[in-house]
Structure 1
Amino acid sequence: MADTPNGATPQQPAQVKMQVLAQYIRDLSFENIVAQKGTGGDVKPDVQVQVGLDAKKRTAENQYEVLSKYNITSKNKETGDVLFAMEVEYGGVFLIEGVPEQQLHPFLMIECPRMLFPFVRRIVSDMTRDGGFPALNLDTVDFMTIYRNEIERRQRESSAAQPTNA
């Protein structure tokens, strides 16, 4: 390692370490409305997916719990009738070291859900297939866009809540 002109060794940034310690289904529900009510004719499904994220610090040092929540609804495009409704809360426990404090929140809300997503995709695919529908293969979720949209929404709410001086 080269010395700086004053003889000091340049400080290297901390190495980022991310380890998935556990993954789990926190909550799962699937409701096949078609089987309950019945439907006739051709069905053209329209699938809507809503994603919510949450993260919190655990008591153990450098450990965080991240939850991703998926609400999935399939409706008949022509009639608007619900075909199925599914909710999945999938969590992970992560050991994270070397991430600067100011970058920790985006890291938890973007990188951690990105690591969990392939497992959620498989659960959704299996559940829809086992529920009597063609397997639903979720499109890749852009967690960065979700994070940015949430930050913008909070900023708008914060600025709208502040009183104006007249």
Structure 2
Amino acid sequence: MAEENGGAPQIKMSVLAQFVRDMSFENMVAQKGLTASDVQPDIQVQVSLDARKRAQDFQFDIVTKFKVTSKNKVNGEMLFLLEVDYGGIFHVEGVPEEQLHPFLMIECPRLLFPFVRRIISDVTRDGGFPPLNIDTVDFLALYRQEIARRAQAAPAVAN
């Protein structure tokens, strides 16, 4: 798979499918009989990732998991909770083995992000709140944080 440009591998990647694996939205404001205008939201977004090899050669399942919580700044009560697991099936060839894990955990979620962002915006709007356009996720920083967390946890397990 070497190219004429000095033998660099030719990376081939394609998205074979995208899908919502799981989603939940709970609107506590409506359940309590309030309106969204009665509150001052404090929104937190948690992101996690999962990657698995599929039975077919060069195919991988990548799932981005978003947990969005909104609490009232005034009293800390929950306003809404949105959880969405958004997946993609990717065909990836030509990535060296030692670079495959970071590639799957950084590049693949980066391609999925605009789609899950739109879903989050639509669900919050349809749920009675202003549409939530979450900030772009830095998947490289997220990957580095996870590697650092695992490195710190490893010595604790060894002891």
Q: Same fold (TM over 0.5)?
A: yes
Scaled by the length of structure 2, what TM-score is found?
0.93
How many residue pairs were aligned?
155
Of 133, 145, 148, the residue aligned with 1:149 is 145
Structure 1 residue 10 displacement after superposition? 8.6
Q: Tell me which amino acid in the other structure corresponds to 1:14.
A: P
Residue number among 80, 86, 93 corresponding to 1:97 in the alignment:
93
Q: Alpha carbon RMSD of aligned pairs, Å?
A: 1.5
What pairs up with 1:108-127 in 2 under 5 angstroms?
108-127=104-123
Distance in structure 2 (CA, Å) of the matches to 1:154 and 1:97 = 27
Q: Does 1:37 align with 2:32?
A: yes
Partner SS, residue 115 of structure 1: helix
Show structure 1 runs of 5+ residues with no match.
1-8
Structure 2 unaligned spans of 5+: none
Which residue of structure 1 lines up, in the alignment, with residue 53 of structure 2?
Answer: 57
- Tell me the TM-score normalized by structure 1: 0.89
Mapped to 1, the partners of 2:16 and 2:38 lie a distance apart of 46
Task: State the partner residue of 1:128.
Answer: 124
Q: In 1, distance between residues paired with 2:22 and 2:5? A: 48
**Take 1:158 and 1:138, find their aligned partners in 2: how far apart are those partners?**
33
CA deviation digits over 1:120-160, x for unaligned, max 9? 00000000000000000010001111111111111111011
Whole-Å separation in 1 of the counterparts to 2:133 and 2:6: 45
- For 1:5, the equivalent position in structure 2 comes to none
Point out 4+ residue stretches in structure 1 off by more than 3 angstroms. Answer: 39-42
Provide, for residues 19-67 of structure 1, a one-character-per-residue CA deviation record: whole Å limited to 9, x for no partner. Answer: 0000000001101100001337741111000001000000101000000
Percent identity, aligned pairs only, is 61
Other structure's SS at 1:127 match:
helix
| Aligned mates of 2:146, 2:8 — CA distance in 1 | 29
Q: Does 2:16 match 1:18?
A: no
Task: Give the distance between the partners of 1:139 and 1:152, measured in 2 at CA.
Answer: 23
**Larger radius of gyration, structure 1 or 2?**
1
**1:70 and 2:66 are equivalent in the alignment:** yes
| 1:111 counterpart SS class | helix
Query: Aligned with 2:46: secondary structure?
Result: strand
Write the deviation string for residues 98-119 of structure 1: whole angstroms up to 9, x where unpaired.
1000000000000000000000
Q: Distance in 2 between matches of 1:38 and 1:114?
A: 38
Once residues 15 and 98 of structure 1 are traced to their aligned partners in structure 2, the CA distance between those partners, rounded to angstroms, is 5
